[in-house]
Structure 1
């Protein structure tokens, strides 16, 4: 009987998690503080309804204390290191991006461009509170189990983030409705710790 009840509760857990928001006793929680200095592996897929399907994977280093992040990833046969400086954002919400194309025959090749901030936001501790994030319920994640879902606008772009029990970002989605384009990013092997600032030095 005990085993049967345990098995039943296991299968009912996802249902109860999703149905809880329909209870008259439900009260929206306050946006939590989040882990803001961490490293993690990530997978990202961006697609639209026309012909775009862009997949990449790598490692992200996020440092709110330095207001910088670094993303090492592979795409199209190239190993690329992208460096983002969140102290240098334009009035129209574009982020300065320095990136290095690693070529074993030529050495680092530094280039420069701009990206809309929501593409790679700075995950600082009070982000959800400052953005006025709305609690959107719980999601059963294959890797992390029951996670919180929070939705908000970031520089005018709709965003949903998924937070685990340790208050870590485990998934980040944003989309451009006018282009019918969505980007979803998954984080795993997450290590919360202060990042060495030398990680963000530009080698060129």
Structure 2
């Protein structure tokens, strides 16, 4: 029997207003019709609120803010709020080092919003990967089943090796929209969980990624 194809977002599944509806019964691992579905294309271009928790043996860091994820611009912008401060971080995936580090610009206001802005530029392991529409297909993703997420309800989980080295579990709603991801870095024993909500899907204008060149 041929593998069951994962359905792409359609009006009948998602609705005109992109509301989440049911997943196919064949995605139920305990259904007699269950089979590994083919990895779908995802609705990846979006802006949204986000929550993230990153921890390792030395630190536990919880942050929230607003994100702009744009494969068409090859950039991710993450605005973050913290105690007495604001920051905006731009990851430029058009500029990646030979070691796989991504160009990052951090615009920071602390310890208060009246403080002079600080600007940092360098190359980093990104805490916000850029997810392209075909990333699950090109990564030959493994279906992890339907799970209940505390923020988004029932979501489909898919496992990949991001960049060929970092294990990532990607979560999609029934419209194949990216709603969150989990990952870990074994060497540093770092765990990162990220969730998106209040998601607006659609191509993003380049104006969202204009950053100062100096503070």
TM, length-normalised to structure 2: 0.79
Structure 1 contact 38–191 (Cα < 8 Å) conserved: yes
Greater strand share, structure number: 1
In 2: Cα distance, 1:76 partner to 1:134 partner: 39
Aligned mate of 1:92, from 99, 124, 128: 99
Q: 5 Å matches for 1:31-180?
A: 31-48=39-56, 50-102=57-109, 104-117=113-126, 119-155=127-163, 156-180=165-189
Matched residue of 1:179: which SS?
A: coil
Change (3 A) 1:189 1:24: same
Matched residue of 2:69: which SS?
A: strand
Aligned mate of 2:210, from 187, 201, 204: 201
Superposition RMSD in Å:
2.0
Greater helix share, structure number: 1
Matched residue of 2:46: which SS?
A: strand
Aligned residues: 186
In 2: Cα distance, 1:25 partner to 1:166 partner: 21
Deviations 1:90-121 (A, max 9, x none): 1221101011013543543221122224x211
- Gapped regions of structure 2 (runs ≥ 5): 1-21
- Gapped regions of structure 1 (runs ≥ 5): 1-12
Structure 2 contact 44–178 (Cα < 8 Å) conserved: no
Deviations 1:1-34 (A, max 9, x none): xxxxxxxxxxxx9xxx8x9324564211111111
